[in-house]
């Protein structure tokens, strides 16, 4: 099979021929139809995640079809359409697992980091990593939902927001353009925050009720004119951007950073104490939660805006994404 691997930390993408992987007893093998390119693929590219073994095939936004099932696998069969996301496996025995918090497993295995990912024609995955893809959803549309989609969808579901509340999405990119669609479809008064006017029209097309250009107005003040954001999903990976919106949260408002910022975030604690605001950590979702995101996307016709690249052009797709030029998600097609 063809695969794209990173040979060493900080190495370049290599297109290689590899043996099609054998399927383990509790795994399935997936023939990859599409794989999204996520900013977190840089952990594999740069070797900035502890314990990665090289060469490694990146990619954790995988959509494909089951091609082979392991000897001990029940409930999954050849030909089923499945997705594999960031959360690749958990141990079931550590303290977080004993509490059902599989996403926080002490021995979590991450797709494309702790095991080979989807920049390839085939990939093997534990059954715990599988989400069913509804029939109506195209593989190219499904792939980005396995990380960018479930991250934003689940962030909304796991917050304390109620229908009709103000939900703000800061940054309109791979994550933000899905966050806007989910917020609008789920019944929230939806606010897009971005720099400049370039993304204003697309924000309204994606379902925003309001648009805040943070280069000409104070986004926190603008949010307070709307009553404050009950939830603000911060996708722009910049500390200053996150700092600028804390005081735009409503009473009990939660700021959920999804983009990992470029430095420490300074927060005036008074901003949190007054109005009982909080900053809440959130990490993508388990396979079943990914399936929820896929099913809701299918139900409400939510699709990512994508640019496709042939698998061989993984390096170009990755550079395009890293330069923030993808509108809005780059997807590799083998």
Q: Does 272 bind Zn ion (CB under 5 A)?
A: no
**Residue 67: its H or E element:** strand 62-69
Residue 158 sits at the vertex; the CA angle it makes with 296 and 217, to the nearest 5 degrees, is 95
Alpha-carbon distances, residue 62 vs 39, 50, 101, 119, 210 (angstroms) = 15, 23, 23, 9, 33
Contact 178, 149 (CB under 8 A): yes
Among 1, 15, 68, 94, binds Zn ion (CB under 5 A): 94
Q: Does 40 bind Zn ion (CB under 5 A)?
A: yes
Judged by CB under 5 A, which stretch of 38-46, 166-174, 176-184, 209-217 contacts Zn ion? 38-46
Region at 213 (left for phi over 0; alpha for psi -120 to 50; beta for the rest): beta
Residue given tokens 């796991």 in the structure block: 158
Region near Zn ion per CB under 5 A, out of 68-76, 93-101, 122-130, 269-277: 93-101
Toward Zn ion, which CB reaches closer, 98 or 280? 98
Contact range with Zn ion by CB under 5 A, out of 1-9, 39-47, 198-206, 322-330: 39-47
Q: Please give the Cα distance from 56 to 277 (Å, whole number).
A: 41
Tokens for 26, please give them.
Answer: 């509790």
Q: Minimum Å distance from CB 110 to Zn ion?
A: 9
Q: Which one, 105 or 208, has the nearer CB to Zn ion?
A: 105
| Residue 20 engages Zn ion in binding (rule: CB under 5 A) | no
**What's 140-174 look like in SS3?**
HHHHHHHCHHHHHHHHHHCCCCCCCCEEEEECCCC
- Closer Cβ to Zn ion, 90 or 277, answer by number: 90
The least distance separating Zn ion from the CB of residue 78, rounded to whole angstroms, comes to 27
Query: Contact between 38 and Zn ion (CB under 5 A)?
Result: yes
Q: Taking CB under 5 A as the rule, which mask of x and - marks residues 97-116 in contact with Zn ion? A: x-------x-----------
Q: Is 279 in the site for Zn ion (CB under 5 A)?
A: no
| Long-range own/partner contacts, residues 240-244 (CB < 8 A, 24 or more apart) | 241/170, 241/171, 241/214, 242/170, 243/267, 244/214, 244/218, 244/219, 244/220
Closer residue to Zn ion in complex, CB, 94/333 = 94
> Taking CB under 5 A as the rule, does residue 322 contact Zn ion?
no
Q: Could you give the maximum distance between any two Cα atoms of the chain, in Å?
A: 61
Nearer to Zn ion, 38 or 331 (CB): 38
**Total number of residues that touch Zn ion (CB under 5 A):** 8
The tokens for 220 are 């926190």
Query: Are 59 and 332 a contacting pair, CB within 8 Å?
Result: yes
Stretch that binds Zn ion, among 126-134, 145-153, 203-211, 298-306 (CB under 5 A): 145-153
- Shortest Å distance, C-beta 41 to Zn ion: 7
Stretch that binds Zn ion, among 44-52, 86-94, 132-140, 168-176 (CB under 5 A): 86-94
147 binds Zn ion (CB under 5 A): yes
Write out the residues near Zn ion by the rule CB under 5 A: 38, 40, 90-91, 94, 97, 105, 147
């Amino acid at each position: 099979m063809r695969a794209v691997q990173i040979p060493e930390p900080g190495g370049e993408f290599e297109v290689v021929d590899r043996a099609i992987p054998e399927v383990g007893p509790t795994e399935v093998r997936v023939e990859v139809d599409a794989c999204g390119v996520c900013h977190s693929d840089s952990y594999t590219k740069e070797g900035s995640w502890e314990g990665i073994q090289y060469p490694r095939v990146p990619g954790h936004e995988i959509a494909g079809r089951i091609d082979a099932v392991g000897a001990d696998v029940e409930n999954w069969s050849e030909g089923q359409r499945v997705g594999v996301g960031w959360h690749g496996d958990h141990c079931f025995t550590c303290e977080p697992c004993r509490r059902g918090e599989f996403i926080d497993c002490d021995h979590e295995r991450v797709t494309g980091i702790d095991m080979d990912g989807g920049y390839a024609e085939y990939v093997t995955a534990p059954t715990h990593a599988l989400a069913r893809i509804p029939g109506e959803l195209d593989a190219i549309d499904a792939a980005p939902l396995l990380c960018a989609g479930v991250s934003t969808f689940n962030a909304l579901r796991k917050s304390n927001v109620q229908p009709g509340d103000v939900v703000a999405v800061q940054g309109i990119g791979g994550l933000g353009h899905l966050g806007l669609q989910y917020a609008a479809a789920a019944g929230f008064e939806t606010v897009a925050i971005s720099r400049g006017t370039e993304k204003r029209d697309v924000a309204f097309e994606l379902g925003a009720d309001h648009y805040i250009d943070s280069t000409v107005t104070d986004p926190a003040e603008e949010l307070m004119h709307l009553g404050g954001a009950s939830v603000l999903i911060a996708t722009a990976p910049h500390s200053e951007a996150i700092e600028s919106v804390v005081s735009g949260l409503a009473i009990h408002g939660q700021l959920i950073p999804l983009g990992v910022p470029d430095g420490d975030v300074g927060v005036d604690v008074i901003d949190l104490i007054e109005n009982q605001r909080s900053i809440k950590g959130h990490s993508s979702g388990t396979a079943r939660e990914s399936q929820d995101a896929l099913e809701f996307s299918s139900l409400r016709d939510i699709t990512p805006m994508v640019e496709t690249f042939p698998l061989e052009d993984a390096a170009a797709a990755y550079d395009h994404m890293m330069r923030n030029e993808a509108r809005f998600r780059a997807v590799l097609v083998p």
